[in-house]
């Protein structure tokens, strides 16, 4: 049985550099791994609209720079949204081998990630880095919070429809 840290993707800029959100999330995932070095980190996110490499690859590169060995990193290059991050990422390991799952993302994103994971049948915990308004500014932070406030009910309905279709 293995503990899993699943890192939800975020934007990679056109020059291939990670967005501040991806850096913040990934550094936090590295911190979680160092506290539990037998765990596996799953990085998620496909190549975005701006350019390669994939969000998963950029996050994996940061993790290795932070001392997480490649043997403890699994990459999901296919996912494009929170639902796919969790579905495709967690399918990289047989369900029966997973002990504990911790989802890491920004705090405003974690409620939707939690609801999504539960709808997929996983028992999870969530953890995210501390966020200071000075990092992105109040307008950007409010935009992200508002986006999540709108997205959460839509995701809940979508998840109910997907679950009902099974």
- Residue 138 near residue 40 (C-beta atoms within 8 A): no
Element (H, E) at 5: strand 2-7
Regarding predicted confidence, which is higher, 119 or 57? Answer: 57
Whether the pLDDT of residue 130 is over 90: the answer is no
Band (107; pLDDT cuts 50, 70, 90): confident
Residue 100 CA to residue 106 CA, distance in Å, equals 20
pLDDT of residue 36: 97
Band (154; pLDDT cuts 50, 70, 90): confident
| Domains in the chain, number | 1
Q: Residue 53 belongs to a domain with what CATH number?
A: 3.40.50.620
Q: Classify residue 48 by its DSSP letter.
A: -
Least confident of 45-49, 56-60, 67-71, 152-156: 152-156
Whether the pLDDT of residue 48 is over 90: the answer is no
- Both tokens of 29, joined, read 């995932």
Boundaries of domain holding 75: 2-165
pLDDT of residue 126: 97
Whether the pLDDT of residue 164 is over 70: the answer is no
| Average pLDDT estimate for 88-96 | 95
Q: Max alpha carbon distance in the chain (Å)?
A: 44
Cα separations in angstroms, 60 against 45, 72, 96, 125, 162: 11, 10, 24, 21, 30
pLDDT of residue 139: 74
Q: How many residues does the chain have?
A: 166
Whether the pLDDT of residue 166 is over 70: the answer is no
């Amino acid at each position: 049985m293995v503990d899993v840290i699943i890192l939800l993707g975020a934007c990679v800029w056109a020059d291939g550099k990670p967005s501040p959100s991806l850096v913040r999330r990934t550094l936090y995932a590295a911190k979680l791994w160092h506290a539990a070095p037998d765990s596996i980190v799953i990085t998620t996110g496909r190549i975005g609209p701006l350019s390669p490499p994939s969000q998963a690859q950029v996050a994996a590169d940061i993790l290795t720079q932070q001392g997480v060995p490649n043997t403890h990193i699994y990459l999901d290059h296919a996912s494009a949204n929170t639902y796919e991050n969790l579905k495709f990422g967690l399918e990289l390991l047989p369900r029966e081998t997973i002990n504990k799952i911790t989802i890491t993302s920004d705090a405003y994103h974690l409620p939707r990630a939690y609801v999504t994971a539960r709808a997929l049948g996983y028992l999870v915990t969530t953890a995210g880095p501390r966020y200071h308004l000075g990092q992105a500014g109040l307008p950007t932070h409010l935009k992200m919070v508002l986006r999540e406030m709108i997205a959460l009910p839509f995701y809940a309905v979508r998840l109910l429809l997907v679950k009902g279709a099974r």
